[in-house]
Every structure is written in C-alpha cells, then in structure tokens.
Copies of this chain bind each other. A is one copy, B any other.
Amino acid sequence: MRSREYGQFCGLARAAEVLGQRWTMLILRDLLVGPRRYSDLLAGLPGIATNVLAARLKELEADGLVTCELQTGNSGRSVIYRATPRAEELAPALDALGRWGAATMREPREGEVVTDAALVAGLRVAAGGRARRPGRDVVYVIRSGAAVAHATMRGTTVEVEAGEHPEPDLVVVAGPGFRDLLAGVLDADAAIESGAVELTGDASLLTEFTATFRVPYSETVTF
C-alpha cells in the first residue's frame, strides 16, 4: 500500500487519504473561499514550506480536487488555483470539522494568527445558513487582527467573502472576548464595554449580527 493509503474499502479511509496529509485541509479551506494564486496560498498558510505546498497542489490536482490555470498579465505571470466541484462537495464536511474545532476555542494560543480564509470560513460556519433579515440588505465588515472579511445579508441568504467592502453598514473589529460574544456568553452591551468589539457605523445592528453568527461552546475544555 502506498504510504498515504490505508488499505481499507471505507469512505472515511478514502477521505483520510486526501485530508490526512499535513496542510491539505487548510489548503482546501483557502481554495473554497475563492480561487487563489500560489503566492496567496503561501501567504495565507504561515509556516508551510514552499515545496510542501507545491507537492500538495500536485496531489490535489491528481485527485481531481484542484485545477490550475496560467494567467499572464502585464506584471508577470501567475497561476490561479481553483477548487473543483468535487472539492466543493467537501464543504459540508469541512464545515462540520470547523464547527467541532471551534467549539473548544477560547482565545488564540501564543503566536496564533487569524488569516482571511480562517475568518471567512469561521463566519460561514457561524452563519450556518441562518438568515434573519427579510428587510433591506445589510453589509458588515469584520476585522480580526490583520484579517478582513465582509458579510452581505440579502433576503434570506448570508454571503461571506474575504476582504473589504466599500459601503459597510457596520464595521465590527474583534477584540479579546469576541469569541465569547459569538457564544452568547457575553451580551452586546458587555462586549462593547469590555472591548470585545469596537464598532463603526450603525451600532444597533450588533444585536442582529450576534443573532446571525453563533459559535457554540463545548462543555469540555481541552485547549
């Protein structure tokens, strides 16, 4: 049996052969947020070695989960990596894993960062298909460390994308304790008071924000 295989006729074993490789889940997470250049991936995965990223992208391409295309602009060439439909079928499973992992997170560990993709993935999981805004569209910009994302509430849908938005209704800057706010442990007033959030814009939208984005606490604290 090849080294990454498990020799079992089992769906989970097949999934583990792909996702059990170091960095692979996070690469797919980043690509499920949107197409990325090689250097974007490298920058969004602090600590990954460049040869490992190259090797993983090759494997994922061979597995039919990633495609790449050369793009030649005026300022040099670039290679765009994109998740395939088969990779998108993984989204529910990765979301479930992210929800499980988030349940025991409290504060960042020493040296941990929040990347754009982590923030987007986290907010998408937190939204979990909820949509409480039949009225007019609302746009949030969320910042956590150096990461920025924006969420658009439109009708019954929530869309979260990486990066800024030109006209947010509310800018939410996450501080220490923001996680508690999303868990419902901290209420909106206390969060503002303690610096768990800093708001710019229509602060009255925060209640709706916390009603939409929720990450539960797990009883068991292991981290």
Instruction: Spell out A's residues near B (CB within 8 Å).
Output: 1, 5-16, 18-26, 29, 46-47, 63-64, 84-86, 89-90, 92-94, 96-105, 108-109, 111-115, 118, 121-122, 125, 215, 218-220, 222-223
- Known contacts A10-B118, A11-B121, A13-B25; 7 additional CB pairs below 8 A are A1-B111, A8-B114, A11-B97, A12-B121, A84-B220, A89-B100, A93-B100
Measured between beta carbons, the chain B residues less than 8 angstroms from A112 are 7-9
CB contacts (< 8 Å) of A5 on chain B: these are: 109
Residue in B13, B100, B108, B115 whose beta carbon sits within 8 Å of that of A26 in the complex: B13
Say yes or no: A6 contacts B20, CB within 8 Å: no
Copies of this chain, count: 2
Residue pairs across A and B with Cβ atoms less than 8 A apart, 9 shown, are: A6-B47, A7-B46, A8-B113, A10-B98, A10-B118, A11-B99, A16-B25, A86-B218, A86-B220
A9 and B113 in contact, given A93-B93, A103-B89 (Cβ under 8 angstroms):
yes
A7→B47 contact, CB < 8 A: yes
CA distance A114 to B10 in the complex (A): 7
Q: For A220, list chain B residues within 8 Å (CB).
A: 64, 84-86
Q: How far is the CB of A205 from chain B (nearest CB, A)?
A: 25
With a cutoff of 8 Å between Cβ atoms, the chain B residues found around residue A12 in the complex are 25-26, 29, 94, 97-98, 101, 118, 121
Q: Given the complex, which residues of B lie within 8 Å of A108, measured CB to CB?
A: 9
- Residues of chain B within 8 A (CB-CB) of A114 are 8-10
